[in-house]
Amino acid sequence: MKCVGTLLLLGRCVSRRSLHHDHRHHQAQQSAGIIGAPFSRGQPRAGVERGPDLIRSAGLVHRLNQQGCAVKDYGNLTFEEVAGDESLGLMRSVRAVGSANRRLSEAVQKVKRDGHTSVLLGGDHSLAIGSIHGHSALVGNLSVVWVDAHADINTPLTTPTGNIHGQPMSYLLHELQSKIPILPNFSWIKPCVSARDVVYIGLRDVDPGEHCILKLLGVKLFCMTEVDRLGVARVMEETCDYLSAKQKKPIHLSFDIDAIDPSVTPATGTPVVGGLTYREGVYVTEQLCQTGLLSAVDMVEVNPLRAQTERDVQSTVGTAVDLLLGCFGRLREGNHPSDYSLPEP
């Protein structure tokens, strides 16, 4: 017996509405194009450059294949040393971050040109600059869902630390263009996202300059207070409604593993207590997958050297993998291939 039609098939992303009405329309299976970016210069802690291979070693490609998702692994980007990369005030490794992201932008453009959903394995969150820039260069205007304990929207002039992984959004937003000074190796970055096309989920550690920017621009956000008040189901319903209210644009999910509570994902550079549960995180990815609009995903800030035990590393990496599987159609109710046929005695 062939199980097709009535059962929810494997790896399929169905829209929320059709799901509720049990009309699961057929939609092309997404394929994943994976880019590893072992880059850590956007922040001061070594170890985050090991993220791509740890996530691969936890079986990402195999498990995506098992759930019916085709994968092309584009391997790791390589980043050469940038000579004469002196600090500019508080800002460190500006030239290295600029040129690494330029390379990443080109790699993401290639993955999108080849027709895949782009998967960036970081590396630190400064990589969102190149990832979102490259995605937008190929698909045009897009929506950004930024899942993070932090807003990462400091400008070079508001940053309390000088770490560029706390600033990527400021370079990408049209509305902040006039607040960004000229920086070496950053001139290729063209703002490509509108503040109204951004939704934040999971915020709980926001700097004063960032809070001012978020309020000034009226950015849609669900900080942990809103997650507590509304519950994650309503947060995702409102997120999807907000993003599809105008025209339906491709979605870029930028997932910082520190959005999840450090009791689950302790192996990260800037953990903050009181985060999303594992289940809330997975629910976010399931719902975004079901929009059928997910076009690029970043999974960043996994840092094994910040863990105290091997178990901490495994829990963090395992969660990162499960979040990525959720982005590509894994359902907790189970999945089976569309050509699955029940054995008969």
Ligand X SMILES: *[C@@H]1O[C@H](CO)[C@@H](O)[C@H](O)[C@H]1NC(C)=O
As annotated, the active-site residues are: 125, 148, 150, 152, 165, 256, 258, 301
Select the residue interacting with ligand X from 47, 59, 184, 318 (CB under 6 A). Answer: 184
* Shortest Å distance, C-beta 284 to ligand X: 25
By the rule CB under 6 A, 218 interacts with ligand X: no
Binding letters toward ligand X, positions 133-152, x by CB under 6 A? -------xx-----------
The entry of ligand X, Mn ion, none near residue 73 (CB within 5 to 8 angstroms by kind) is ligand X
Q: Which of residues 249-268 bind Mn ion (CB under 5 A)?
A: 256
By the rule CB under 6 A, 38 interacts with ligand X: yes
What torsion, rounded to 10 degrees, do the Cα atoms 263, 266, 270, 276 define?
A: -40
Binding letters toward ligand X, positions 191-210, x by CB under 6 A? ---x----------------
* Shortest Å distance, C-beta 35 to ligand X: 10
CB 186 within 8 A of CB 96: no
Phi–psi pair at 213, nearest 5 degrees: -60, -45
Sheet holding 220-222, edge to edge: 71-76, 32-37, 117-122, 294-300, 251-256, 143-147, 198-201, 220-222
d(CA 54, CA 303): 9
Task: Kindly give, in sequence order, each residue whose CB lies less than 8 Å from that of residue 324, ignoring residues fewer than 6 positions away.
Answer: 55, 60, 64, 119, 285, 297, 299
The entry of Mn ion, ligand X, none near residue 31 (CB within 5 to 8 angstroms by kind) is none
Binding letters toward ligand X, positions 84-113, x by CB under 6 A? -----------x---x--x-----------
Binding letters toward ligand X, positions 40-79, x by CB under 6 A? -------------x-------------------x-xx---
* Shortest Å distance, C-beta 25 to ligand X: 25
Binding annotation for Mn(2+):
125, 148, 150, 152, 256, 258
**What is the DSSP track for 15-77?**
-HHHHHTT-----PPP-EEEEEE---TTSS-TTGGGHHHHHHHTTHHHHHHHTT--EEEEEE-
* Shortest Å distance, C-beta 257 to Mn ion: 9
In 3D space, the residue among 200, 199, 203 whose CA is nearest the CA of residue 275 turns out to be: 203
* Alpha helices, H only, 114-142: 128-139
By the rule CB under 6 A, 18 interacts with ligand X: no
In 3D space, the residue among 44, 138, 31, 118 whose CA is nearest the CA of residue 77 turns out to be: 118
Q: Considering beta carbons, is residue 186 or 283 the nearer one to ligand X?
A: 186
Q: Which of residues 110-169 bind Mn ion (CB under 5 A)?
A: 125, 148, 152
The two structure tokens encoding residue 137: 């260069």
By the rule CB under 5 A, 226 interacts with Mn ion: no
- What Rg value do the Cα atoms of the chain yield, rounded? 19
* Shortest Å distance, C-beta 251 to Mn ion: 18
Binding site for Mn ion (CB under 5 A): 125, 148, 152, 256
